[in-house]
Structure 1
């Protein structure tokens, strides 16, 4: 027992079934040879593999037909397959109440309007519930078998009606899921449109601010800067002549500088 627990602790995931050990090269070659000798369409489960493979060695005791691949065409034809005792459908569907062995009171075809049948079921449930209360509140009769059988019948019929209502609700689950998905996609589309509109509004506001800053920058150009730019431009076309300041006074040099600037 302790060894098994230690093995489980060492292996967090369950080990594969021991059946995979049978898929050896030798066994697969025996299966192919058996299929060639009995025919491709023959049923291997009814063939004595020891007689057919009498000239071969190490023929297993278990049937080689267990190594065959599952017939996908059979699965698609039947629409279901069984694994470890559980049945799975190729195309998932909700079984109807009739397929589950219940007493179905509404039409099976989903294209048929079920509202009249549902109204009848609801009225029948209300009437049966009223009769059930009457049978329970009635004075006890001389024989208890009659009254006991009556309320049991009402209770069984209410159970059948409730199963039909739940069956219709289960059939409407795909419609509800489709409606919820449609609403969710519409809401996501509305949110994206609102986000896009907010982004466009923010971009317009930034463009307006940039335009204002550009106009403010153009208005801040001073006459001194303009003169300096003109002076700089003049330097590119005509060189400025520097006078001989060796014999000039300081006032004359300052006057010359003001005239140049």
Structure 2
């Protein structure tokens, strides 16, 4: 028995010894037994399964799944696994439920700040009293030995006050975690907004540059079309077509065009 208890408390325990009973044949016998059970007012396993082979000596009802509804009906619903007891509804017990002397309201909806301030003041006063009792001269022989020294009571009370402060701080851990998560999410949202704003500004700059490049390319294209004339429009030297107005761009030198293109680029 001691070996089994030690095995159950092992950090990496072996499977329970009855796991070998969960075979396909035994599970089929269990299903057949449950289906025939209403026809037998006084069920006996060997009588109900008399037409079956390899019926085990132990009751097949041991293979039934645990009744979770029965566990949940208990006021302190729990289950045992490998020698450890676990609550069905995971709950952090309060300081009073753990057996301590709770000095602040147990209801989390009640404002605990006045009680915590009183605990802090009591802690400071008790610490001052402890200092005075420690600095006091040793007791005389007339004081009975059964009487506890004064400083011992102060130390015990300081312990209770400190445990109350720690328990109250631990109760606020979920609130603190929610606050930290909210701040982190707000920070991430602000960062994404700043990055989006930067991307939009960069896109605006690139769009403006592309617009300038398109305008420059259009000007260069128009200038090239003006310089190129079809063969039918070529006149004899010294003869000018009176129907066509003079082109002012004809007098533009090539160096001027190159200088203008460098300035635009």
Structure 1 length-normalised TM? 0.69
Distance 2:113 2:101 in 1: 18
> Is the alpha carbon distance of 1:36 and 1:156 closer, same or farther for their aligned partners in structure 2, counting shifts above 3 Å?
farther
> Is the alpha carbon distance of 1:66 and 1:158 closer, same or farther for their aligned partners in structure 2, counting shifts above 3 Å?
farther
Q: Which residue of 1 aligns with 2:67?
A: 71
> Alpha-carbon deviation of 1:147?
7.0
Do the aligned residues in 1 keep the contact of 2:79 with 2:87 (CA within 8 Å)? yes
Q: Which residue of 2 aligns with 1:19?
A: 18
> Alpha-carbon deviation of 1:217?
1.5
Structure with bigger helix share is 1
Alignment of 1:66-105 (within 5 A): 66-78=62-74, 79-105=77-103
- Structure 2 gap ranges (5+): 1-11, 242-265
> Is the alpha carbon distance of 1:119 and 1:223 closer, same or farther for their aligned partners in structure 2, counting shifts above 3 Å?
closer
Do the aligned residues in 2 keep the contact of 1:107 with 1:114 (CA within 8 Å)? yes
> Alpha-carbon deviation of 1:213?
0.9
> Alpha-carbon deviation of 1:51?
7.0
**1:203-228 residue CA offsets vs partner (Å, 9 max, x unmatched):** 10000000111122223246454343
Q: Which residue of 1 aligns with 2:198?
A: 198
> Is the alpha carbon distance of 1:161 and 1:34 closer, same or farther for their aligned partners in structure 2, counting shifts above 3 Å?
farther
- Structure 1 gap ranges (5+): 1-12, 40-46, 235-239, 241-251
Alignment of 1:1-261 (within 5 A): 16-35=15-34, 55=50, 58-60=54-56, 62-78=58-74, 79-141=77-139, 142=141, 143=143, 145=145, 148-221=148-221, 223-228=223-228, 231=230
Say what the alpha-carbon RMSD is for the aligned residues: 3.5
Do the aligned residues in 1 keep the contact of 2:30 with 2:61 (CA within 8 Å)? yes
Q: Secondary structure at the match of 1:97?
A: coil
> Is the alpha carbon distance of 1:48 and 1:176 closer, same or farther for their aligned partners in structure 2, counting shifts above 3 Å?
farther
> Is the alpha carbon distance of 1:32 and 1:69 closer, same or farther for their aligned partners in structure 2, counting shifts above 3 Å?
same
Distance 2:66 2:27 in 1: 15
Do the aligned residues in 1 keep the contact of 2:80 with 2:86 (CA within 8 Å)? yes
**1:44-98 residue CA offsets vs partner (Å, 9 max, x unmatched):** xxx9976766846545455544322122223444444332232333443321011
Distance 1:150 1:51 in 2: 74
Q: Which residue of 2 aligns with 1:8?
A: none
> Is the alpha carbon distance of 1:15 and 1:202 closer, same or farther for their aligned partners in structure 2, counting shifts above 3 Å?
farther
Moved more, 92-101 or 47-56: 47-56
> Is the alpha carbon distance of 1:18 and 1:175 closer, same or farther for their aligned partners in structure 2, counting shifts above 3 Å?
same
> Is the alpha carbon distance of 1:51 and 1:191 closer, same or farther for their aligned partners in structure 2, counting shifts above 3 Å?
same
> Is the alpha carbon distance of 1:205 and 1:108 closer, same or farther for their aligned partners in structure 2, counting shifts above 3 Å?
same
Structure 2 length-normalised TM? 0.68
Distance 1:48 1:170 in 2: 55
How many residue pairs get aligned? The number is: 219
Distance 2:124 2:46 in 1: 71
